[in-house]
Copies of this chain bind each other. A is one copy, B any other.
Amino acid sequence: MLVQKFGGTSVKSIARIRNVAQIITRAARQDRVVVVVSAMGDTTDYLLKLARQAALSPQRRELDMLLATGEQISIALIAMALNEIGARAVSMTGPQIGIITESVHTTARIVDIRTDRITRCLDDGLIVVAAGFQGMTPEGDITTLGRGGSDTTAVALAAALSADVCDIYTDVSGVYTADPNIVPTARLMREIAYEEMLEMAQVGAQVLHPRAVELARNHRLKVRVRNTFDPDFEGTILRGADEMEIYRPVSGVTVDRDQARLAILKVPDRPGIAGAVFGSLAERRVAVDMIIQAFHQDRLVNDITFVVRRDDLVTAREALESVSRRVEAEGVMIDEDVAKVSIIGAGLMDQPDIAARMFAALGEAGINIKMISTSAIRISCAVAESDAERAVRIVHDLFHLEGQE
């Protein structure tokens, strides 16, 4: 039993849909296959443009109704292309495959998958072509899953159907030690631990959405990241760290450019202030990273600094300015010249000198580190955007990632 997911670039045109149909048929000779697809190429952007023309602030329920047509078009065309070359395929929308979500629009989470219909089709020898990104509330309304929705559909379906493997087809051959556009010597990793992939996905590696990685980890599902345009290559396999064959202190380096730094200055040092600041951001669904709280000399006021996605900057700034007035802080500072360079490695925690070596190497190269944050398997440095690519190359060299396998 195999789940294959194809992203928007893989089904951008009818020619590409034909190519995808070939990949699917080959797999279907050996396995029961469920295919999950995104909307074709720019369809979602086109639909969003229509929505913005129809209304200044389109209702979320209606946005979902509209956007769900994108995947519905893809699944129908792929099923047609499959039937055309002699495979027996049937398309299914999110509601039809039984993806039940919470009653929230544009960012719904899956609460249940009713697999009886899909299982019946598979038992009949059909290839099921399922719409990614969408589901249905218990009341029968169409919902969409938000960012990374199709990846999430694929992994959730694979888990619900107890699939052996979930193949995520994209336009690169797998996960690299760094972006090959930045580091020409970057190497493709043959395997990566869920936790590493999770950290990489969260700090700029675009191949797989963190939501999907987390779901795969929770179900210990074997996921492969593969290239639609080089389908014979096995790509990168995600698995548990305990199943990994190779031990690496540092697996890869990522850069996340779409960052911005905010600070709320001279906040009175009273209990509950941090709660007010970050509560107000959480209410607006702004994700925050790299929080630093620094005392001023008099120890009566603090500066609280943190990093957000640049998309969220306007929302975050508004939230912060309102808190600033309320708690009588001095004001809000914005720094848009921020990129986050991170190293990821399941073995990081065992090697305390790695962080020090990273900071030293950047410092020797004259790169100023604006902020630092760490997790058990990640060390991130915020630097000026103009320094970011150089920083990635320095760190990639420092830990000899090019020669690691």
Contacts and interface: CB of A to CB of B under 8 A. Distances in A.
Given A14-B54, A50-B14, A54-B84, A69 B62 contact: no
Interface in A61-107: 61-63, 65-66, 68-69, 72-73, 75-81, 83-84, 90-91, 93, 95-96
A294 B134 CA distance: 61
Residue of A17, A18, A80, A140 with most chain B CB atoms under a 10 A cut-off: A80
Given A61-B90, A140-B117, A66 B55 contact: no
A65 B54 contact: no
A75 B84 contact: no
Nearest to A70: B69
B59 A83 contact: yes
A205 B68 CA distance: 36
A75 B58 CA distance: 13
Contact of A62 (B53, B54, B58, B83): B83
A51 interface: yes
Given A51-B77, A84-B55, A91 B65 contact: yes
B140 A53 contact: no
Given A72-B72, A84-B55, A79 B65 contact: yes
A54 B16 CA distance: 10
Contact of A79 (B62, B81, B84): B62
A29 to B, nearest CB: 20
Nearest to A58: B80
B80 A73 contact: no
Nearest to A14: B53
Contacts of A78: 54
Interface string A188-232: 000000000000000000000000000000000000000000000
Contact of A76 (B17, B66, B93): B66
Contact of A56 (B62, B68, B84): B84
A62 to B, nearest CB: 5
B76 A62 contact: yes
Q: Which bracket fits the contact residues of A?
A: 35 or more
A66 B62 contact: no
A47 interface: yes
Contacts of A69: 69, 72-73, 76
A95 B90 CA distance: 18
B72 A55 contact: no
Given A55-B84, A72-B72, A84-B56, A50 B77 contact: yes
A205 B117 CA distance: 44
Given A79-B62, A79-B65, A17 B54 contact: yes
Given A50-B73, A140-B117, A81 B65 contact: no
Contacts of A68: 72
A117 B271 CA distance: 50
B140 A96 contact: yes
A217 to B, nearest CB: 33
A72 B66 contact: yes
Contacts of A95: 95
B80 A59 contact: yes
Contacts of A62: 76-77, 79-80, 83, 91
Given A51-B80, A66-B73, 7 more contacts: A50-B73, A56-B84, A59-B80, A61-B90, A62-B80, A66-B77, A69-B76
12 contacts: A14-B50, A14-B53, A50-B77, A51-B77, A51-B80, A55-B84, A56-B84, A63-B76, A66-B77, A66-B80, A68-B72, A95-B95
Interface of A: 14, 17-18, 47, 50-51, 53-59, 61-63, 65-66, 68-69, 72-73, 75-81, 83-84, 90-91, 93, 95-96, 117, 140-142
